[in-house]
């Protein structure tokens, strides 16, 4: 069922899991992600970025996620998370719509501005008992239609102060992870360990697509609680449409093609769930 973000974090700790967080954009991706978690019998996050919410709305996504989970009769715990929340208004709209966890991504702002933005969102979110993920450092690569060439690894000496000042509950770090499929990630483990040592809260890795699974599993020792996967699932979905069109230019049964795409996304998500925790 759809669960509160703090409850989901407790579940991860209790079962010693790193929770995959899969990016959705629409009904088909949501259905595939829910089914993958349900079929694997493990919990995790469905998330959508501020940017992709422009295509629908927080209310549409929250209602749809609840409906899909009810219809599929899902019993495994799933959180609905705002990914790369770009403004206070986005954070507020998602919490008001029923999201159970949020991220405030002000990492492109100067350090003090980042703190200010996260602190404001944390105060609002905590009033509703919703956890907040913040980001410290710059993650290079392609995130939706935004390409960042900022590669500012997280400074371990900033971590404690940042967490204390912002009140964030989870911290996304830049330790050699990248967004998208165009760059090669390579986790800097000494840095990750240093960051983890200084962080009073669990860590999140963005840019899961492309990180070798043995590296993700190793990162688990550094208080990792969540890994984000976007591109891998979108690629599986979009590829199906390309292949279908190549095979038959006269295929007009959209549902047949979409459900083949959903099946591919389920397989990709299940493989990730399996690999991340060796279940």
**Residue 252 Cβ, how far from ligand G3H at the closest point, in Å?**
31
The 227-246 site mask, x for binding ligand G3H (CB under 6 A), equals -xxxxx--------------
**Which member of 206, 226, 234, 264 binds Zn ion (CB under 5 A)?**
206
Q: Which stretch binds ligand G3H (CB under 6 A): 62-70, 149-157, 202-210, 215-223?
A: 202-210
Question: Which residues are bridge partners to 81 per DSSP?
Answer: 47, 101
Q: How far apart are the first and last CA of the chain?
A: 20
Written as one string, the DSSP assignment of 107-174 is TTS-HHHHHHHHHHHHHHHHHTT--EEEEES---EEETTEEE----PPPHHHHHHHHHHH--SEEEE-
Judged by CB under 6 A, does residue 140 bind ligand G3H? no
Radius of gyration of the chain (CA): 18
Judged by CB under 6 A, does residue 58 bind ligand G3H? no
Written as one string, the DSSP assignment of 61-106 is HHHHHHHHHHHTT--S-EEEEEEEE-SHHHHHHHHHHT-SEEEE--
Q: Measuring CA to CA, which residue among 13, 32, 70, 31 is closest to residue 271?
A: 32
140 vs 206 by CB, closer to Zn ion? 206
CB count within 10 Å of CB 14 equals 8
Catalytic entry in 10, 26, 83, 188? 83
Whether residue 105 is annotated as binding a ligand: the answer is yes
Residue 105 binds which entry of ligand G3H, Zn ion, none, with Cβ cut-offs from 5 to 8 Å by kind?
none
114 vs 231 by CB, closer to ligand G3H? 231
85 vs 261 by CB, closer to ligand G3H? 85
Judged by CB under 5 A, does residue 234 bind Zn ion? no
Q: Measuring CA to CA, which residue among 155, 161, 170, 69 is closest to residue 125?
A: 170
Q: Which stretch binds ligand G3H (CB under 6 A): 58-66, 153-161, 205-213, 235-243?
A: 205-213
Query: Do residues 204 and 172 lie in contact, with contact meaning Cβ atoms separated by under 8 Å?
Result: yes
The 21-50 site mask, x for binding ligand G3H (CB under 6 A), equals --x---------------------------
Window 176 to 195, contacts with ligand G3H (CB under 6 A): 179-180
Q: Is 89 one of the catalytic residues? A: no
Q: Which helix (H) or strand (E) holds 41?
A: none
Query: Do residues 77 and 8 lie in contact, with contact meaning Cβ atoms separated by under 8 Å?
Result: yes
| Residue ranges binding Zn ion (CB under 5 A) | 206
| Residue ranges binding ligand G3H (CB under 6 A) | 23, 83-84, 179-180, 206-209, 228-232
Bind-site residues? 84, 105, 135, 179, 206
Kindly list the catalytic residues: 83
Bind-site residues for Zn(2+)? 84, 105, 135, 179, 206
């Amino acid at each position: 069922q759809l669960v509160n973000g703090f409850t989901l974090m407790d579940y991860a700790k209790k079962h010693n899991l790193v929770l995959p967080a899969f990016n959705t954009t629409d009904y088909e991706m949501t259905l595939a992600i829910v089914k993958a978690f349900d079929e694997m019998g493990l919990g995790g996050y469905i998330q959508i970025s501020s940017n992709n919410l422009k295509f629908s709305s927080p209310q549409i996504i929250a209602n749809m996620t609840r409906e899909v989970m009810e219809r599929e009769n899902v019993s495994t715990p799933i959180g609905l998370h705002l990914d790369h929340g770009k403004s206070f208004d986005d954070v507020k709209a998602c919490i008001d719509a029923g999201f159970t966890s949020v991220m405030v991504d002000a990492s492109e702002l100067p350090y003090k501005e980042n703190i200010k933005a996260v602190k404001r969102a944390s105060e609002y979110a905590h009033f509703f008992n919703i956890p907040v993920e913040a980001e410290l450092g710059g993650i290079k690569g392609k995130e939706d239609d935004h390409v960042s060439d900022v590669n500012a690894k997280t400074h371990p000496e900033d971590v404690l102060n940042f967490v204390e000042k912002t009140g964030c509950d989870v911290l996304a770090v830049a330790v050699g992870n990248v967004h998208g499929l165009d760059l090669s990630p390579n986790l800097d483990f000494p840095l990750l360990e240093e960051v983890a040592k200084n962080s009073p809260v669990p860590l999140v890795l963005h840019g899961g697509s492309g990180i070798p699974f043995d590296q993700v599993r190793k990162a688990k020792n550094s208080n990792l609680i969540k890994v984000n996967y976007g591109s891998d699932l979108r690629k599986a979905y979009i590829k199906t449409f390309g292949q279908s069109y190549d095979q038959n230019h006269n295929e007009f049964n959209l549902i047949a093609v979409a459900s083949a795409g959903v099946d591919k996304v389920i397989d990709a998500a299940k493989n990730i769930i399996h690999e991340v925790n060796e279940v």
